[in-house]
Amino acid sequence: MPDRGGGPTGPRIRVGRPSRRVRTLLMTLAVLAVLGMAFTMFAGFWTDWLWYRSVHYSSVFTTTLWTKIGLFFVFGLLMAVAVGVNIWLAHRLRPPLSAMSVEQQSLDRYRMGIAPYKTWLLLGITALVGLIAGASAAGQWRTWLMWVNGVSFGQKDPQFHLDVSFFAFDLPWYRFLLGFGFAATILSLIAAALTHYLYGGLRVTSPGARATAAATGHLSVLLGIFVALKAVAYWLDRYGLAVKSSDFKATDNWTGLRYVDANAYLPAKTILFCIAVICALLFFATLWRRTWQLPVIGFGLMVLSAILIGGLYPAIVQKFQVQPNEQAKEAPYVEKNLKATREAYGIDGAQVTEYSGTSTTKDKTTLRDDADATASIRVLDPNIVSPTFQQLQQMRKYYAFPTNLDVDRYNVKGTDEDTVIGLRELNLAGVDKQNWINNHFRYTHGYGVVAAKGTTSDPEGRPVFTESNLPSQGELGSYEQRVYYGEKTTTYSIVGGPQKEIDYSDDKGEKTTSYTGNSGVNLSNPVNRAAYAVAFGEPQILYSGAIGDGSRILYNRTPKERVEAVAPWLTIDGDAYPAVVDNKIQWIVDAYTTTNGYPYASRTTLGDTTADSLTATNDNRAVVAQQNQVNYIRNSVKATVDAYTGEVKLFQWDTQDPVLKTWMKAFPGTVKAKSSISPSLMAHLRYPQDLFKVQRELLTRYHVKDATTFLSGSEVWQVPDDPSNKSGDAVPPYYLSMRMPDQKAQAFSLTTTFTPNGRDNLSAFMAVDSEAGTPDYGKIRVLKLPTSTTVDGPKQVQSQFNSEQDIAESIRLLKGGDSDIEYGNLLTVPLDGGLLYVEPVYVRGGGLKYPLLKKVLVTYGGNTAFEDTLDEALNKVFGAEAATPPPTDEGGGTTPPPTSSNPTVRQALADAQKAFEAGQEALKKPDWDAYAKAQKDLEAALKRAEDAQAQADKGAKTGGGAVPSPSASPRAGSGAAAGGKATGSPSPGPSSS
């Protein structure tokens, strides 16, 4: 039937049309605007494609893109068709005539207004809802890929006996489909109801029936579909109970069924499912009965049942069955949660053993020797000495080191040594003349590795560098030193073209270079240049003469950023670290696969559990989480990023992880086999910090296996606050080469401590073997302290350090003038049943803007020492020297001076000792003039000793007897370097305090 018309139209008003020139101008501007928007969109797409192709991960780009496009069109079309068909059907079922009531007369204006545009309006509405639905569906590409590629876990949940993959991969996709179905039904219902109302099928104030039979049948079917979907939701809710989080007194993030879930909610959901199915059938029956009576009654009964069965009944069960005997009722479900949580986080193999906390050995000499054998105690704190590296090894203002350095181990002369390492990265803030050419063409890369021994310092308290200078030289051999990709490289560079780059500077002047790697995107193509000019908002890229044949643009240059881009399904560890591997600098990045659909496993928030005192001050150390709430995590991938070429390699690490296998099916060829890891790379792989932090947080509660103890909360631990500062943030874990009581030799380990919940004494010590490639890698060992006695925890030990009178006085002297002290990492080492605490103390004072290691705090069994070196502190604590003292090295000076048969040498050494003691006395006052004089006397005495010894050695060669060589330094910490010269040390005075 034709639409009803309106009344008289009234006079027409002629409006002047714009001139042809104006119309042409407006049309041209519109076309240009459309072309500009189109090219902007194309530029983003094209540059992404070029980047993925340049890193040889184009399959990731295409798989992700086609998945998003497919989901967009499929679900966008489904939504558009659903809404459009229901609008069309409502319009087709409109009544031919209706009473001319006041309501209908007011609607006539709208009907007449839209009549000429009905088709366009229908297309516009359906296109809009289709675009919104398609965009929402495209965001579910991960859910789709996991569902379609899902791999079995080989484990079944304890309630429904379904494979875990159903909850991890299938259930999320079913819930998305259900949500989409609800959205399509509700939008169709609203659109159909409005159309029926507009064309008289529904009436609000008009006399007679409120709805036509056709409208009644149409809307009833839509309501029936809605109720049927609700029935499906009730059925899926049954399985959702296994991954449902709830507040429970045992833990804040309890996941899984409890007694009330299994015995009240589960049967209630089944009953509600049946009621919803019946109610849906009643709605569908209106196609024949043409009355709302039965479906409305059925819907009311369903709502009432949901309140009574789904809400009131579980509350009654909880109140009268569970609460009177909670432990007995909840124990079976707690045991399921304990088992699942420990499995999901990889802590089910944690070895918890009792540890007395007090030593029983009376022979102090034995303990002194055991201290050296048990751990290579690192006194160089990587989180404090970055300014020292910066001051001594920056070389140029346009270089910088990260705020927190890294700890690795290197084999030097057949011995593995804990090493503090950092890269001399590019720092554009230090470039004197800031302009586009300098920032993007000339200053393009950092240069070299700087490394230092972790277990010692030189007499001035500076690091003993094993790799230093510019270009870097030392014990790491030859390697490509240019750093084009690093943690501080956050801007793009254009390299390889006519514009030369600054390489480094030495005594002969500034060196230049030109990038020869195959990284980045070639800019010789004008289309590429135009695309990057638009994408980066930098028009000079399009026309600059500094870009020519061979020019390549490098971007996405931080290691974590590159790994996240090529594997967007991974969660990235917050601490990428560099290593020299096979003559290259390689960034090593740990990556995780996660899910929040592991049944019965309690959830954790990655951002919270991985936070500590380091992440609070350094955003670069934060985990890059694709999914913040998780209840399953595996360190399934080890990734490397070449610092010169930017090449990204992903290696399968956990070969049993079903989540990784699923993603490897979705993105075939992107992850290399574990066997592809070279032995040289394996030597530098380690246990990742963020996984360790997640596991230690879970172990605060889940170290117990007994449901009763878990429910009582009597064995709850906590991660202590960092005692070395007042931030109130958790203490970070520390890498340390050490030997646990059941180990025969030291292993590179990651360690932490626990205290009882709400208390400061020690409750446990935890270490995980971080030696990749060894049988014990990843083994978690927990030493549990007795609850009947108290053992001092980190905060209490720090408090003892600060409150002991002699130590407090020494610290006050160290703070003399404008100096200040910084406490390093407080390391804990299990030793003969007791616990050895070691903390380096740094002084940043006078004219120095960087910290120097000046003292070492050590405590064991109630004995405390505050000495210049670790060996001296250990000797004092144990009241004995090591049976085999460590040899003298170029930085330690730890061996006491041997006696000499040459009287001149003996006298010179005696004078040196007096000068040293005079210098120490001057430091205590402090008297800087006296200290400077003592330093000069010390240097002169050592020079005399050196000359006398050289003369004696010369005489021995011509027939005289051999004379032992004197020590270069009369005592560790003397301020003189080997050979009697204070090479590289600051001049005496306030700045060297």
CB-based contact 418:428 (threshold 8 Å): no
In whole angstroms, what is the distance from residue 35 CA to residue 483 CA?
A: 40
What pLDDT is attached to residue 662? 97
CB-based contact 358:833 (threshold 8 Å): yes
What pLDDT is attached to residue 907? 72
In the predicted model, what is the mean pLDDT of residues 236-264?
A: 86
Check pLDDT > 90 for residue 442: yes
**Residue 990: both structure tokens together:** 């306030």
Q: What is the pTM of this model?
A: 0.83
Q: Return the percentage of the chain with pLDDT > 70, whole number.
A: 87
Nearest one of 818, 891, 890 to 849, comparing CA atoms: 818
Residues with Cβ within 8 Å of 578's Cβ and at least 6 positions away in sequence, in order, are 406, 421, 422, 423, 449, 486, 585, 586, 587, 588, 643
In the predicted model, what is the mean pLDDT of residues 780-785?
A: 94
Helix (H) or strand (E) holding 45: helix 20-54
Range in 418-427, 590-599, 627-636, 888-897 with the lowest mean pLDDT: 888-897
Helix (H) or strand (E) holding 129: helix 118-138
Reply yes or no: is the peptide bond before residue 830 cis, omega within 30 of 0: no
Mind listing the pLDDT tens digit for each residue in 96-141?
765 556 666 666 666 676 777 788 888 999 999 999 999 999 999 9
Check pLDDT > 70 for residue 926: no
3-class DSSP string for 597-651:
CCCCCCCEEHHHHCCCCCCCCCHHHCCECCCCEECEEEEEEEEEEECCCCCEEEE
What pLDDT is attached to residue 897? 40
What pLDDT is attached to residue 9? 44
Give whichever of 23-32, 290-299, 624-633, 944-953 has the largest mean pLDDT: 624-633
CB-based contact 99:206 (threshold 8 Å): yes
Helix (H) or strand (E) holding 803: helix 794-803
What pLDDT is attached to residue 952? 62
What pLDDT is attached to residue 985? 33
- Return contacts of 119-125, CB within 8 angstroms, 24+ apart: 122/84, 122/87, 122/88, 123/84, 125/83, 125/84, 125/87, 125/191
With 0-12 / 13-18 / 19 or more C-beta atoms within 10 angstroms meaning exposed / middle / buried, residue 858 is buried
What pLDDT is attached to residue 450? 95
What pLDDT is attached to residue 969? 36
Check pLDDT > 50 for residue 978: no
What pLDDT is attached to residue 207? 58
In whole angstroms, what is the distance from residue 25 CA to residue 28 CA?
A: 5
Higher pLDDT, 969 or 903: 903
Residue 663 amino acid letter? W
Check pLDDT > 50 for residue 430: yes
Check pLDDT > 70 for residue 954: no
What pLDDT is attached to residue 327? 86
What pLDDT is attached to residue 412? 80
What pLDDT is attached to residue 19? 77
User: For tokens 């069955």, what's the residue?
Assistant: 321
In the predicted model, what is the mean pLDDT of residues 179-200?
A: 92
Torsion angle, alpha carbons of 674, 680, 681, 685, to 10 = 100
In whole angstroms, what is the distance from residue 568 CA to residue 52 CA?
A: 12
CB atoms near residue 478 (< 10 Å): 9
In the predicted model, what is the mean pLDDT of residues 464-486?
A: 93
In the predicted model, what is the mean pLDDT of residues 381-398?
A: 91
* pLDDT-based confidence at residue 209 (cuts at 50, 70, 90): low
Give whichever of 369-383, 514-528, 634-648, 823-837 has the largest mean pLDDT: 634-648
In whole angstroms, what is the distance from residue 865 CA to residue 806 CA?
A: 10
Nearest one of 467, 416, 409, 415 to 735, comparing CA atoms: 409
Phi, psi dihedrals of residue 732, rounded to the nearest 5°: -75, 155
Check pLDDT > 50 for residue 60: yes
In the predicted model, what is the mean pLDDT of residues 761-772?
A: 94
What mean pLDDT value characterizes the chain?
85
In the predicted model, what is the mean pLDDT of residues 41-54?
A: 92
What pLDDT is attached to residue 950? 67
Higher pLDDT, 308 or 671: 671
Mind listing the pLDDT tens digit for each residue in 832-844?
899 999 999 999 8
Beta strands in 405-474 (DSSP E): 406-412, 415-423, 425-426, 446-447, 449-457, 463-468, 473-474
Helix (H) or strand (E) holding 509: strand 509-513
Check pLDDT > 70 for residue 3: no
* Beta-ladder partners of 501: 513
- Give the sign of the dihedral formed by CA 744, CA 746, CA 748, CA 750: positive
**Residue 119: both structure tokens together:** 């088709």
In whole angstroms, what is the distance from residue 692 CA to residue 592 CA?
A: 12
Range in 74-78, 121-125, 212-216 with the lowest mean pLDDT: 212-216
Give the gyration radius of the chain's Cα atoms.
37
Check pLDDT > 60 for residue 212: yes
Mind listing the pLDDT tens digit for each residue in 882-920?
665 444 443 333 333 444 446 676 677 777 777 777 776
What pLDDT is attached to residue 848? 66
Nearest one of 67, 229, 255, 257 to 159, comparing CA atoms: 257
Phi, psi dihedrals of residue 365, rounded to the nearest 5°: -60, -40
Nearest one of 284, 283, 320, 276 to 301, comparing CA atoms: 276
- Return contacts of 111-120, CB within 8 angstroms, 24+ apart: 111/3, 111/4, 111/198, 111/199, 112/3, 112/4, 112/5, 112/6, 115/3, 118/91
Helix (H) or strand (E) holding 100: none
User: For tokens 């006079």, what's the residue?
Assistant: 11
Check pLDDT > 50 for residue 326: yes
**What is the SS3 assignment for 591?**
strand
